Amino acid sequence: MVLAFALPLVPVPQQFSFRKNAVENTISNIKIPTETKASQTIKENPAEPVQETKQVINVDVVLKGILYLYWFGVVIFGLNFLMQAFVLLFRSYTGSAIQDGKFRIVEITGDKAPCSFGNNIFINPEKYEWETYNQILLHEKIHIEQKHTIDLLLAEIVLVFQWFNPFAWQWRKALETNLEFLTDDQMLQHDTVERESYQFSLLKVAAPQFPLSLTTNYNQSLLKKRIIMMNSKKSNVHTTWKYFFLVPLMVLFACLFNQPAAQSQTLNVNGEEKQNAIVHDGMKTDGNWFAVIKGNTIEITFKSDENNNSSTTFQLNELSSVPRDKQGDFSLTREAGTMNFKGKFEGDRGMGTYKFTANKDYSTTMRKEGLDISKDTDLMVFFMINIKTSYVQMLKKNGYNSLDKDQVIPLAALDVNEAYITSIKKAIPDIDLDNLVPFKSLDIDQKFIDEIRSSGYKDISPSNIIALKSQGIDGKYIKDFRSSSKIQKNADNKGNSKNNDEDSDDDIIAFKALNVDKAFIDSFKEIGFDNISNGDLIGLKSLNVTPEYIKSFQKAGYKNIDIENVMALKSQNISPELVKEYKSLGFDDLSLEDIVGAKAIGTTPAYIKSMREKGHNFKSLEKYIALKALANN
């Protein structure tokens, strides 16, 4: 739960972010405006602001309505939460109770299921036989000792504020399920509790009434799942490595969805602030400039106050006559407006003041094309990037009719031109604008897409292409992956080989991250392991299992050792020499699985020898394992 709420707040460095904002914020160090508020909109035509203001007001009304609905839900669910807590506390301290150490056994009446809250256990003692009654108390005491009430209270608090989120309700249900699984597991570890007897008690406790959701209880709705879980085989120790791949998965989600960290340059040059300038998130429409001429280009830094500046490079022939060694005026005119400069150059360096004048006709034309850039600061950004009307028309001609300025700016700044769009659409006809930005920033072209598809992907999505490119995965790597890994080749019912187009992106990315290459796979094939699955290959690499390690066991007599045993042995750092030590203690029919289990719990040869010195002479390794488990508990 903490991860779910904290992860979206983690800022991602711009170079690792897939968000289009990462591209926008790095273009020429220009502060790009995003939202336009009605109170900041300045219009010359008095008839137009009325219509725009009405639209903004209508949107505000809808947003306020949604906000009021949300807080209404919070109030309702919050009152329900407080009411449940009040009812439980009232029952806890008004009914008859028996103090059993730190536990309070509260007697209830009627056909209600037993449950616990805090250190209180609610139960009707007249309903159950003595054995069932004791098992219920033990079950609820485990809930209390493991503080499951805190888990449930936190889940309920999340639901109060996330009542609209279906995943929050699923999370609450999954939490309750796992709490019961954990408690059942602890129950079965008690010497006095038999599996069959306990499961039969669960059936006896089943009742139609459900306790309040703030309580831990013998949950009847989970009865079947709990019995199945109690009778299922536990996961092997060597499979736990798979959970470590949640970390790169979380990193990938953060790069895809989190806000990129802002980066900007700051120059400490004193400048007087103009009171009549329009300010929007950084650069103003007038201020000071500092320039350096470099060949046929001129790099100009715009300084509007002590903290806000941006630099960009222009072609020298775009500017009117530049004053040399004397004070003078010059200008730069583009479709969005004109930048007027005053100052002088001494050699290749100059300084002075600037003022931007917007082209209102350009704003009107853009509005007809569906873009609202009425503010001078918006027009100045379009001026800096030199976004022409023809560029917007080109985007619309290629099928992108619903445009906004925050989409157009990074596209134009990255020079996503018609030739590039046409080539990409030949490979992905329905690609959207939001994907074109990371495509261009990652240098994804038609050749790369065709290369990926020729390696086996037929219906790859833009997000998959972005993920592969960002990891440096090309078609050759995928072909090697396909030819070397088992999961990419399946057999049909007739025994014929066929290609599986639904490749696992996670496996490919994991292979790349762990450097699982063809040479690594072939090294295991050379010692007889021809059908290793992708998951096992990842496990072998993450555990640093080498062919030499396997050969050492084969030389020790384990000719038919399988991959699962290899990873289990490696996870416990078991060598052939340690196996010999176990066998020297005189155990009959000792398997590798027995040795892994013994080592995992700490039943080492040294421990067995120490127990024998104390008089515990057993012929079975299992008895030493049980003795060690008892000592641990």
Q: What average pLDDT values come out for the chain (633 residues) when binned by 10 residues? A: 83 68 41 37 40 53 87 94 91 87 89 87 87 89 93 93 91 90 88 81 63 59 75 66 75 78 40 36 77 91 75 88 88 93 91 92 91 85 92 92 89 92 92 90 91 81 85 81 54 37 61 80 86 84 90 86 87 89 82 86 90 86 83 67
E-strand ranges in 162-304 read: 216-217, 286-294, 297-303
Task: Check residue 536 and give its pLDDT.
Answer: 85
| 359 φ/ψ sector (left φ>0, alpha ψ -120 to 50, else beta) | beta
In-domain check, residue 99: yes
Query: Of 232, 265, 297, which residue sits at a domain end?
Result: 232
Q: Alpha-carbon distance 424 to 429, whole Å?
A: 8
CA dihedral angle for residue 48, residue 54, residue 59, residue 63, rounded to 10 degrees: 140
Q: Which residues pair with 107 in a beta bridge?
A: 123
Task: Check residue 282 and give its pLDDT.
Answer: 52
Cα separations in angstroms, 288 against 19, 176, 273, 301, 315:
32, 63, 10, 8, 20
In-domain check, residue 103: yes
E-strand ranges in 258-394 read: 286-294, 297-303, 309-315, 328-334, 337-346, 349-358
CB 156 within 8 A of CB 131: no
Q: Alpha-carbon distance 163 to 182, whole Å?
A: 27
Both structure tokens of 501: 């187009």
Query: Of 167, 200, 232, which residue sits at a domain end?
Result: 232
- How, if at all, do strands 489-491 and 497-499 pair? antiparallel
Task: Check residue 160 and give its pLDDT.
Answer: 94
State the DSSP H helix or E strand holding residue 381, giving kind and residue range, or none if neither. helix 376-385
* Length of the chain, in residues: 633
In-domain check, residue 127: yes
End-to-end CA distance of the chain: 30
Query: Of 232, 247, 271, which residue sits at a domain end?
Result: 232
In-domain check, residue 182: yes
Alpha-carbon radius of gyration of the chain = 35
In-domain check, residue 589: yes
Q: Alpha-carbon distance 104 to 427, whole Å?
A: 69
Q: Can you give the residue range of the structural domain that contains 620?
A: 572-633
In-domain check, residue 269: no
User: Which amino acid would we find at residue 233?
Assistant: K
Task: Check residue 239 and give its pLDDT.
Answer: 62
Number of domains in the chain: 2
Residues contacting residue 257 through CB under 8 Å, at least 6 positions apart: 8, 19
In-domain check, residue 612: yes
In-domain check, residue 463: no
3-state class percentages of the chain: helix first, strand second, coil last, to nearest 5: 55, 15, 35
The backbone torsions φ and ψ at residue 357, rounded to the nearest 5 degrees and listed phi first, read: -115, 120
